[in-house]
Chains A and B, each alone.
Chain A
Amino acid sequence: MERRFPRTLHSLQSIFAFVDERMQGLSLPVEITPTLYLGIEEVFTNMMKYQHPGSEEVAIEIDIDQDAILIRLTDWNVGRFDPTAAADPDLTLPIEQRRPGGLGVFLTKAMMDGLEYRFNDGTSTIIMKKHIRRNNA
């Protein structure tokens, strides 16, 4: 199921509501939903910040099967920008030396089971996968 959202931070509440709607009625561990929020927010805000000029809306698709949740975010009219290629931040540095940037993608990679970037003819797509283990399994 796909839905489109204006590329603004104000869309986040609507995006989370879309995730809640897709999760409704499924017997999944409670940590799954905030993990999906995280992946989508980090990719969506990356598209807002770094993919220019970009389309007015970003498409978000959430497909659920027996074993996994597949999320696809698509942005049009953009240059190539692959967030999955960013270097991981050094998380052992003391606070004085920590620099902003890179943490969102790092957390997304850590929390998701797959993160893939595709670029074709001005269309940028990020695909994320989260394996699921059902509570009643």
Chain B
Amino acid sequence: MLEVQHPRPDTVVFSGRFDASQVDAVRLVLDQCAGTVTIDFGGLEYISSAGLGVLVATQRRLKEAGGEVILRNLSGYVRDIFKIARFDLIFTIQ
């Protein structure tokens, strides 16, 4: 399962597994974000292409408004997936 925390307006924290069944719940949270938002992936064990699609849609929306998504604390499998998908070209990764 996926746990999504939104402790501050500019910070979202993911932990667990972000699969296709979690897309609607995550979209509800990210749609509330404006400006520049940092997503902390420190506890994220898994993401699929469905999850990546939500992140791309959020990045596109925020960039159009002058903000962006910053991704933080990618490790292991998640880091490999972002590298293969060349998401380093479209996200700031810290």
By a beta-carbon cutoff of 8 Å, the part of chain A in contact with chain B is 9-10, 12-13, 16, 30-31, 34-35, 37-38, 41-42, 45, 91-92, 94-96, 98, 100, 103-104, 106-107, 110-111
How many Å lie between the Cα of A37 and that of B78 in the bound state? 12
Do B63 and A45 touch across chains, with their CB atoms under 8 A apart?
no
| Inter-chain contacts of A10 with B (CB < 8 A) | 21
Q: Closest residue of chain B to A104, judged by CB?
A: B49
Q: Given A34-B76, A37-B48, A41-B19, list of 4 further CB < 8 A pairs?
A: A12-B19, A34-B78, A95-B90, A104-B49
Query: Residue among A34, A35, A42 with the most chain B CB within 10 A?
Result: A34
Do A95 and B76 touch across chains, with their CB atoms under 8 A apart?
no
Q: Closest residue of chain A to B81, judged by CB?
A: A107
| Inter-chain contacts of A30 with B (CB < 8 A) | 76-77
Do A16 and B17 touch across chains, with their CB atoms under 8 A apart?
yes
User: How many of chain B's residues have a CB under 8 angstroms from any CB in A?
Assistant: 26
- Chain A facing B: main interface SS: helix
Known: A30-B76, A94-B90, A98-B90. A37 touches B84 (CB 8 A): no
Tally the A-B contacts, defined by beta carbons under 8 Å. 72
| Inter-chain contacts of B89 with A (CB < 8 A) | 91-92, 94
Closest CB-CB distance, B36 to chain A, in whole Å?
A: 15
B60 interface contact, C-beta 8 A: yes
Do B81 and A31 touch across chains, with their CB atoms under 8 A apart?
no
B13 interface contact, C-beta 8 A: no
How many Å lie between the Cα of A81 and that of B51 in the bound state? 24
| Inter-chain contacts of A100 with B (CB < 8 A) | 53, 56
Closest CB-CB distance, A36 to chain B, in whole Å?
A: 10
Query: Residue among B46, B49, B50, B81 with the most chain A CB within 10 A?
Result: B49
Do A98 and B20 touch across chains, with their CB atoms under 8 A apart?
no
Do B60 and A96 touch across chains, with their CB atoms under 8 A apart?
yes
